[in-house]
Amino acid sequence: MVAQSDGDLYGDGVNIAARLESIAHPGGIAISAKVHDELQGKARFVFEDCGEQSLKNVARPVRVYALGGSALGAKAIGKPLPLPDKPSIAVLPFTNMSGDPEQEYFADGMAEDIITALSRVRWLFVIARNSASHTRGAPLT
């Protein structure tokens, strides 16, 4: 079920889509089994079965498929993208220092809001959230 409030969408499908985005390799596409089943016979894409994946705040594991095997840590094939010709910035994940696991959403939301605001600055290249999220919990030197 999807609910809408003030232009925002809520529901299990939206939550799962957001979690799949966070585990997909940059430039990759990850979809759930439900979406994969809907695409059968309707689109000419090759998806690789990545098995059951545990997603944050989703009660049961979700079977995940990657487009052409390009998601979930697989290296993209092809020549590297050119470096941007403008200053770049990455917003690293915030650490939840409260000890309350419920505040993890707040920390993630703050980083997302900052990334969104910075992406509106045309002369600045902003690194995607899922590209910087692998640093969560890693010591920075």
Domain ranges of the chain: 2-67, 88-135
pTM value is 0.45
Whether residue 64 contacts residue 31, with contact meaning beta carbons closer than 8 Å, is answered with yes
Query: What is the pLDDT, as a whole number, of residue 132?
Result: 66
Whether residue 55 has pLDDT greater than 50 = yes
Fold of 2-67: Alpha-Beta Plaits (3.30.70)
Query: What is the pLDDT, as a whole number, of residue 127?
Result: 85
Higher pLDDT, 119 or 14: 119
Higher pLDDT, 135 or 90: 90
